[in-house]
Every structure is written in structure tokens, then in C-alpha cells.
Chains A and B, each alone.
Chain A
């Protein structure tokens, strides 16, 4: 049974609609949610969590339908928001005590371990923390009650490479450890980090999920065709065209379409230099 199952979810804002989103998060997996700014990643996460109302669709947590306004199930969910809202006037330990009061399953010993892991001084005032430390604190607040679903919205944005590496190591070793039985959904723009941790990839474009598969499946299912002698006048509406800074041009297509596309390009006098599996970066550029 998936930890979280979203079915036919719709949500409209003026000028934006999240359409018919289906998603399921399995225990012990990390699912990466990718998309351009404004694609609907944060809206999807907030609808899933019940922070904002959905227009249509269902959200099932551990097999049980969760109506909007129900909040008790959120005790089993950890969420790190992109904006990291924290009380700057509080000390780290004071803030964690405040959060702990709302979670009956709060584990003080685990909280202490996490403080050490993220090298946070509990006596420090929050306004004195660096951006990386604030992210660390938000993570501790989301984790110390041992949630079985962890939703991370751009947690690595603004972190330096060392902090990012630490975070990824923690995510691999601790967050999805088998004994935690946890599902993780992480939205990020840093694709190399996503490749390092994600089991499943979800790409969302203009409020629609266009891809939901494992990275291995994506590499098997999609192909990149590198072509030569491409002019800007040539447009190919059927397939996404990826232009490199060095002037190179690549086309993204499904594997079963690749042979036909090669033949068609050759017939038009466009030489195909290479056919290979795409990188996540290329998939993102082509589909997001």
C-alpha cells in the first residue's frame, strides 16, 4: 500500500491550474518532483498535505481518504517548506520544544542526534543561524517526530556544496533507512543531487504530470538524437528540441519513435550524429 496516493487532483489559481494529478509514494523510496518555477510543485505538495484546499480529487494517506481540514494525520508527516518560516526571536532548543508540543511521537533522543548531525547549537538564537543551519533546523523540526511521509520543498536551495553533500548523505543513510519505513517526496532544481538520491522521477509542466517513472525506466524509454546542420528556421513541433550553448542540437523522443525520427531526419538531409539514452538534465530540458 502506498504511503500517499493522490488521484485526479485539480487545483486552480488565477492564471494557473494543477490538472488531474495522479501520484503515489511508496515506502522506502525517494520521489523527486521536478519542474520549472511556477509549474505547480509547491501547490501539489501543499494540496497533498492539506495546507490549501483542493478543487477536486482525492488524497489517501496509508490507504485512508483524507478530507481537507483533517489535521490529525499530519502528525505522521514531516514537511520542510521552501520559505523555511521560523521564529527568529527563539533559540533553537526553544523552537524545537514549541514544535514538539504538537507531536505526541516526538523523540527527544533522536532530536539530539539530529542536532549533532546538522551541527546546530541548541542555545543559539535562530536569527543568528546561516541559511544552511536554518534548513537544518527546519529538517530537524520535520523529522524528530519520526514521520512516515517526508515532504521536502526545495530543501537544498541556497546550500553550499558541503552542506548539500551532507544533506544528501543524510537523506540516503537516515531518511529512507528501511527501519524508518518512510516515503520521501523532494522537489529540487539541482538535478545532479536528484540523480544521487531519487528512485522515482516526476516531471510536472504547467500543472500537469508529464512523466512519472524510475530513472532507469526513463533511460530505457527515452532517446536523445544529436543532430548536425540544424538551422533556426527548422522547427519540429512534435519533439522537444534542446539547444546547447555550444550550438549543438538534440531532439528528445520516445524509444519506439526514435527509428522513425532518424529516418525522417535523414530524408530531410539532417545528419543524426548519435542516438543514446538521455541524462536527467536533458529530460528536464525537453519535458519540463
Chain B
């Protein structure tokens, strides 16, 4: 079974290598922009700089891994393999998580580079929200990616994309426009007990979405679907 999953992971990375490389370059360039702006620019705090565009990563990953397989009917080919829906979902999740890690790594490396080279840059104010976001962004991204995989599997890719955007910008809207109202929550989110419970709930949600994906993979006739 491990060989089957590994073959699927390799296949997905080969299939999307160009897309992935393109996005990594765009991320790196966008993070290195302050270097091009010259001295005196403001480098926004990492977590806040990512906020408006972070939803794109789960969307892209889900579209590559699920939307395109649905559109080209190759998901049916995968379901014909002697591989359970559970293992197929795991393979997709492994690829998604790896891609997410790559995106994150490029952001962090590029950002560190900028900060080390441009000491005269003014650092954006991180504040409580920024600190909280920095702590929570990884698990939120994992959860959002899992949700995107499920939605792209369940729905048409356009509808799935719209739902992700709406969910993400609802959160962004709250953070930017109601910072005072959310302040108690931000303070609470710094407590270790809250972090542990919050991450635990997120992991349970990820597992729940995995079960739903498995159920969908098992129940639908993927040969009948012509569109992603």
C-alpha cells in the first residue's frame, strides 16, 4: 500500500511541478519586493502581509489535486486502482500538506532574507493580532486546505472557490474592522490551554473532513462527472 501511495504522491508532484514552481517564484518575488523598493520602505509583519492572499494557496492546491483530476476524469482512473478511498485521500493530503509546507518555507526564507539584508527597513507593527495570527496561521492553513480539498471534491470548482474566498474574507474582514471586539479572543488565544484545545479541535475537523472525502470518493460514480 505504501508503494501505491508513494506512486500517487510522485505522480502529483510531477504533474504540478511547473505550476508549483511558478507559484513559488511569485511568492519569493513578492516577499523580496522590499529589497527592490530600496531603503526606507515598510516591511509589513509576516502574518499580516500574508493575510489577504493566503486563501489562494489552499485553493490552488485543491484545484490542482482534485479539480483537475475531476475535470479530466482521471479521478475515475484512480478509483479503478486497487487502492481504497482512504488511501487515495491520504495520498492527496500528503501532497497538499507538502505543497503548503513548501509555500510556507519560501515565505519564511524570503522574509528572513529581506529582514537580514535591509536592516534600515522599518518593521511593521506586529501587535497582539499579528502575534496571535502568526501562531494560528499554520493550523488554519492546514484546516483550510483540507476544507478546500473536500469542497473541490464535492462541488463544481467555481462554487468551491467562491466558498473558500467567502470564508477567508469573512475572517479577514473581522480582523481588520473589528480589532477591539476581537481583542479578548486574541488575548485568550495566547494561552497555552487555548492553543492546545484550539489545535485539537482543528485536528478533529481535519479528520472529519478526511472521512467525508473518503465517503464521497466511495459513493460517487466519478466516470459520470464531466466537469471539475
Given contacts A81-B76, A85-B73, A101-B4, contact A71 B219 (CB under 8 A): no
- Which chain B residues in 1-20 approach chain A with CB under 8 Å? 3-4, 6-7, 11, 15
Report the minimum CB–CB distance from A53 to chain B (whole Å).
Answer: 7
Interfacial chain A residues near B83, Cβ < 8 Å = 71, 102
B122 at the interface (CB under 8 A from A): no
Per the bound structure, the CA–CA distance linking A228 and B79 in Å amounts to 54
Write 12 A-B pairs (CB below 8 A) sorted by A numbering: A51-B221, A72-B82, A74-B82, A83-B73, A83-B223, A85-B72, A85-B74, A86-B74, A98-B11, A101-B6, A101-B7, A102-B7
Chain A positions 85 through 122: 1 when the CB is less than 8 Å from some CB of chain B, otherwise 0: 11111000000001101110000000000000000000
Interfacial chain A residues near B72, Cβ < 8 Å = 85, 87-88
B37 at the interface (CB under 8 A from A): no
Across the interface, name the chain A residue whose C-beta is closest to B222: A51
B77 touches A71 (CB 8 A): no
Given contacts A69-B218, A71-B82, A81-B223, contact A98 B15 (CB under 8 A): no
Across the interface, name the chain A residue whose C-beta is closest to B221: A52
Per the bound structure, the CA–CA distance linking A88 and B223 in Å amounts to 17
- Which chain B residues in 72-91 approach chain A with CB under 8 Å? 72-74, 76-77, 79-85
Interfacial chain B residues near A103, Cβ < 8 Å = 82
A75 at the interface (CB under 8 A from B): yes
Per the bound structure, the CA–CA distance linking A74 and B82 in Å amounts to 5
A98 touches B7 (CB 8 A): yes
A61 at the interface (CB under 8 A from B): no
Report the minimum CB–CB distance from B84 to chain A (whole Å).
Answer: 5
Besides A73-B82, A81-B80, A102-B3, 8 other A-B contacts (C-beta < 8 A)? A68-B218, A81-B76, A81-B223, A83-B73, A85-B72, A98-B11, A101-B6, A102-B7
A79 touches B218 (CB 8 A): no
Interfacial chain B residues near A72, Cβ < 8 Å = 82
What count of chain A residues pass the 8 Å CB interface test?
Answer: 26
Between B15, B74, B77, B219, the greatest number of chain A beta carbons within 10 A of the residue's beta carbon is seen for: B77
A206 at the interface (CB under 8 A from B): no
A189 at the interface (CB under 8 A from B): no
Given contacts A79-B80, A101-B4, contact A53 B219 (CB under 8 A): yes
Q: Which of the four size classes fits the interface of chain B?
A: 20 to 34
Interchain CB contact (< 8 A) of A46 among B6, B7, B223: B223
Interchain CB contact (< 8 A) of B15 among A79, A89, A101: A89
Report the minimum CB–CB distance from B10 to chain A (whole Å).
Answer: 8
Per the bound structure, the CA–CA distance linking A99 and B80 in Å amounts to 10
Interfacial chain A residues near B6, Cβ < 8 Å = 101
Chain B positions 163 through 178: 1 when the CB is less than 8 Å from some CB of chain A, otherwise 0: 0000000000000000
Report the minimum CB–CB distance from A55 to chain B (whole Å).
Answer: 12
B82 touches A69 (CB 8 A): no
Give me the 7 closest cross-chain CB pairs, A-B, nearest first.
A101-B7, A74-B82, A85-B77, A85-B73, A75-B82, A102-B81, A102-B4
Interfacial chain B residues near A42, Cβ < 8 Å = 223
B15 touches A83 (CB 8 A): no
Interfacial chain B residues near A99, Cβ < 8 Å = 81
A46 touches B74 (CB 8 A): no
Report the minimum CB–CB distance from A52 to chain B (whole Å).
Answer: 5
Report the minimum CB–CB distance from A169 to chain B (whole Å).
Answer: 26
Report the minimum CB–CB distance from B2 to chain A (whole Å).
Answer: 10
Per the bound structure, the CA–CA distance linking A71 and B73 in Å amounts to 20
Given contacts A81-B76, A83-B223, A87-B15, contact A101 B82 (CB under 8 A): no
Interfacial chain A residues near B73, Cβ < 8 Å = 83, 85
Interfacial chain B residues near A86, Cβ < 8 Å = 74, 77
Per the bound structure, the CA–CA distance linking A79 and B76 in Å amounts to 12
Report the minimum CB–CB distance from B8 to chain A (whole Å).
Answer: 8
Report the minimum CB–CB distance from A106 to chain B (whole Å).
Answer: 11
Per the bound structure, the CA–CA distance linking A181 and B61 in Å amounts to 44
